[in-house]
Every structure is written in C-alpha cells, then in structure tokens.
Chains A and B, each alone.
Chain A
Amino acid sequence: MIRSISVVYGIYLLLPIALLVVGSTGNSWTNTLLPTGLTSRWYVDLWQDPSFRRAFTTSLIVAASACVINALIAVPLAYSLYHGASRRGSIAAKIVSAMPIAVPTITLGFGYIIVFNTDTAPWLGTLPLLIVAHAVHTLPYLTNTLLTDLRHLGLERLENAAATLGASTWNQFTSIVVPNLRQSLISGLVMVAAISIGEFGLSNLLTSFQNRTYPVVLLQAFYGATGFACAATVVLLVLACTSAFTASTVAKKS
C-alpha cells in the first residue's frame, strides 16, 4: 500500500520533469501527447540568446553575493540569538525562524517598491538592491540551519573550556564556534544559493530590464516555442538539483 502510494507520488513528482526533458529535446510539440523529432537546437538557441546568458550570469552574481552577505551576517546573528535565547526566552529566535513563512516574497517586494522608489532612495531596479533583497529573503534559512546546529553541538562547554585556556570572546568565536559550524554553514549556504537562483516573486518585482534574473527571463520563454521554454527550464532545474544534492551530501557528512 505504502509502496504504491510512493510510486504514484513519485510519478506525480517526476512526470512534469520528465516531460520538460523530453520537450526540450523534441523538434516540434503541438497538439500531440509527445513531441516529434529529436533535436538539440533549443539548447543551442538558448546558449546563443544573449538575454538568457545575461540573466544566467546575473542570477549567479546575485546568488553568490547573497551567500557572502549571509555568511557574514548569519553566523554572528545565530550565535547571538543562541546565547540571547538562553537568557531572555527565545522570542527573537522564533521571529527569525518564522520569518520566511510569515512574510511572503510579494509583501517584501512591495515594501521595497514603496521605500526604494523615492527621490531619497531611488534604487529600485538596481543590482545591489536585488542582492540585498535576496540576502534578506534567504537569511532566515541560513540562520535557522546554524541555530539548529548550535543547539545540537552544545558549544557552551567548549567555549567555557576555551575561555579557561585564555580565549577571549572573540577568540572563542573565531577558533571554536566558526570552525565547528562549518558543515552547517556550507549546507546552509548551498540552500541560500538554491533559493536565490530559483526565486521569482521578489526578483520579478524588483528587477529592471537590465538585470533580470534567470527565472524572470524564463517566464518570457513560455510566450515563445515550447521546446525553447522546456530547455530553459531544464537548465534551471539542473542548477537547483545540483545545489540540493550538494547540500544533502554536506549535511550527511556532518
């Protein structure tokens, strides 16, 4: 019974992906169950399309930048939340955990539009604003991953030991906390990259024509040939799968 449910669910999950792969290699797909003919031209077209190449690069830049910003902010943030939570209840920690669920990207996006479409802060449509938006959106995910690991590791006893050996708070943080968090930091950052690359709602509201991200451009593809749209989606899929696979491999090792 469970087995059959799993199989049905697996088909439900994998069928659209399989169809995308089939569609991306099919020559023509109109009014038939499956496409006819075999071709690689959609991928060639995609490669030769400057707007897609540009969007792909933009997506990578945004994701990488979000990772760097998050790494710099989330480690100290999670650390202080971990220590603060033990003293003053865990309200701050709960807010951080609930943020990605409680605040939809569209809310965040509209907020940005209102604030950054003014004369004092006319940064709507710029790449830095997009990067910041992605960083804000993905920060809770990384912070949560780090917080879970901090609670699991019980670093306080190691910090105490380090302190008696002469480590200042800063030394404890750099030589004990950060090295012990490296596994969850890496897996958290891969997750940040995956979310950022696949993110659509926020990017669609905040990008200008110049710096559209891959998912935003991908939407345009669906107004054109089916095969081209499929190929463009498969590229995004491969990228997301690679991230997810890397994240789970790192998580397993830790």
Chain B
Amino acid sequence: MSLDLQSVSYAYPGTGHGVQDISLQVNSGELVAVIGPSGSGKSTLLKLVSGLTTGHSGSILLDGQDLTHLPVHQRNMGMVFQNYALFPHLTVAQNVAYGLKLRKVGLSERMARATELLKLVGLDGYDTRNVAKLSGGQQQRVALARALAIDPKALLLDEPLSALDASIRGQLRDQIKTIQRRFNATTLLVTHDQEEALTMADRVAVMQDGKVLQFDTPQGVYESPNSKAVADFVGLSTTLEATVSGVDVIDIGFCTLRANTRGRPIGTRLFALMRPEHFQVDPAEGSVNRLQGAITVERYLGSMFRYDFQVPGAPQQFLVESRQRAIGALAIPPEHVHLLDH
C-alpha cells in the first residue's frame, strides 16, 4: 500500500493558511515523518489525507485509488491522535474492537483480536479496564491498538507522543516503530519534535508556511539540508552569512574558511552551516579553518559538553559539542562547512 500525494493544495476558508502544492510519496511499509514549526501546515496535511478536512485540489492516492471523493469513514486508515481520543464509555478492549464491530465482526472474534493487539502493545490483561484510569502512555498504546485493529491501509500518527512525559516518550517511540515495522504499515507521522522524526522515520519531509522544503532521509535532512530554514529546524547548528571569495574559499566577515564551493562564482552570497559535533577541539597551530577564541557559556550534558565559543570579531557565537572543552581554539574541517544558497 503506497500513499501518494500529488500537488495537494488547500486553504482554510477565509484565510490564506493551508498547504500549497505538496507532493509526497510514502512507499509501502515506509514511515514518513512530516515536521515543521506550528502553523507550517503539517497537521492540515494529515487531516486532508485522513479525510477529516476536505476540499483540496490535487490528488491523494492510496494504492493508486484516488481518495478525494471518499468520505473519511470509508478510507480505512488508522489514525492516532495527540489527545488519544479514546471512547470514555467503552472499556479498553471495546475501544480496540470498535472498528471491528462496525465491520460486523462477531463478538468473540473481535474481542479475541482486541486481546491479541493489547498484548502486542504491552497491555496484556487490561481488557476490561476503564480507559480513563490509564496513564497517558497506556492510553496512547490503546489508541495505537485500536487503529491497527481495522487492518488499515495506512497509519496516520498525529503528534502521538506530544502529550506524554519525556521519560515515556522515548520508550513508546521505539515501540511504535517496532510495531509499525512488524505490520509493515505505510505510515505518515506528523510531529514538531525533530528528534522523534529523525529516530522513527525512513524519510522526513520538512514543512514551513504550507510548503515542503525538503523531503529526504533523516541523514539527508540533517547532513545536507537544502536551505537555512531546514538547517535551523532540524538539529542544532551555527549558520553564518558568507561570500565566496575564491576557489573553495569563503569569507565569513571576520576570517576566511576553506569549504567546497562547488564551482560557485566569486561574490556569491550564501550561508555557511556548521554542526556542533563537527568541530575539532584545540587543533594544532596551522590547522585548516582554525578559529581562536574562548568559551562563554558552557552546558554539561553528561556524555559531552555543549558550549558557545566566541571568536573575536564574529557576529555570533559558535555552538560546539565535544567530550573535552576547548581551551583556546576550534577547527572545522572543510568537508563539514555546508554551503546553503538560501
């Protein structure tokens, strides 16, 4: 089952907000995460795919079938919501079996299926519990079991972990990923949490202002962002305005750096992106791209230090992560200076 979005556009009536010309393909069994700041249109996109919002242009194809005119209840897509949306008047197992009941599956069969799915999400023996008495993490696992029970053609996850405590989030993230793999479920995940997206997704679509800025693997969006906006949203970085001043040389105002300029003409204005983990600490005198300065703010994160490093004359500080603190100098290898045109 593949999910194919072709030039999908939608604007909320009376406002200019919505999504514009979105084209994405989620291959069978693939998990695609859509990330972006709030208001970027990612939730709208998910609502359009689920059918909860209608009236878009372009087409949304599920396994080749155009969903545009299919009402939400006929799309057969399992959805997990941020606020769980469990039915308070039903028990845990009845919640899971709800979709099967609508499909006229017999009582004993659907309850057996519910029990089986609850076991799978780690809620063995919770069948007759009241959903309101469960913790957030447990409720979301019930919601996942409920979405999987209908044997969905695609799984839609709308900020599924946002309402949970950080301690549970990591654990449930892995569990969702494992189950998604096991079911080989074609999945679209919407989240504002980039770590969630990078760890769970096979591919990530970064959205801003209703448009997809980049659609690539997690490594792709992190290592080779195609714009400053993507770089700023995904991961931590130092981004400086720069001008190409020679072959494989850029001028960042207060000094020049070696970087692969890929044949850009001299005078081209661009941005130089540096990830914090790529800096070398206290390199030998004469190293390439050596920057002298001092630490201004330091944060101990256990496995490493994260600190701001001020180079005299620099308009902003460099964000660095390393095992040891730099005493007086940093170096950034030329292959780790990413040049972005916009």
Q: How far is the CA of A171 from the CA of B76 in the complex (A)?
A: 15
> Interface majority SS on A: helix, strand, loop or mixed?
helix
Q: Which residues, 46 to 86 on B, are CB-close (under 8 Å) to A?
A: 50-52, 71-79, 81, 83, 85-86
Q: Contact check, A161 vs B89: say whether CB atoms are below 8 A apart.
A: no
- B52 and A163 contact, CB distance less than 8 A: yes
Residue B146 at the chain A interface, CB threshold 8 Å: yes
Q: Report how many residues on chain B are interfacial, defined by Cβ distance under 8 Å.
A: 28
State A180–B131 Cα separation when bound (angstroms).
14
Interface residue B166 (Cβ < 8 Å from any Cβ of A):
no
The answer to whether the Cβ of B262 comes within 8 Å of any Cβ in the partner chain is no
Are A179 and B89 in contact, with the CB atoms below 8 A? yes
B73 touches A167 (CB 8 A): yes
How far is the CB of B13 from the nearest CB of chain A, in Å?
11
| Contact (Cβ within 8 A) B102 A171 | yes
Q: Which residues of B contact A167 (CB under 8 A)?
A: 73, 98, 102
List the A side residues contacting B81 at CB < 8 Å.
Answer: 157, 160-161
Cβ contact within 8 Å between A161 and B85:
yes
Chain B residues with CB under 8 A of A171: 73, 102
Q: Across the interface, which residues of A come within 8 angstroms of B156, CB to CB?
A: 164
- CB of A180 within 8 A of CB of B89, answer yes
Q: Which residues of A contact B79 (CB under 8 A)?
A: 160-161, 164
Query: How many chain A residues touch the partner (CB < 8 A)?
Result: 17
Interchain nearest-CB distance for A209 vs B (Å):
47
Distance in angstroms from A58 CB to nearest chain B CB is 37
Q: Indicate whether A162 reaches chain B with its CB closer than 8 angstroms.
A: yes
Enumerate B93-145 residues with CB–CB distance to A below 8 Å.
98-99, 102-103, 143
In the complex, chain B residues whose CB is within 8 Å of the CB of A180? 87-89
Residue of B50, B83, B89 touching A164 (CB-CB under 8 A): B50
User: Interface residues, chain B, CB within 8 Å of chain A?
Assistant: 50-52, 71-79, 81, 83, 85-89, 98-99, 102-103, 143, 146-147, 150, 156
What residues make up the interface of A, taking CB atoms closer than 8 Å to B?
Answer: 157-158, 160-168, 171, 175-176, 179-180, 182
User: Knowing that A158-B87, A166-B74, A171-B102 are A-B contacts, what are 4 other residue pairs whose CB atoms are under 8 Å apart, sorted by A's residue number?
Assistant: A160-B85, A163-B51, A165-B78, A180-B87
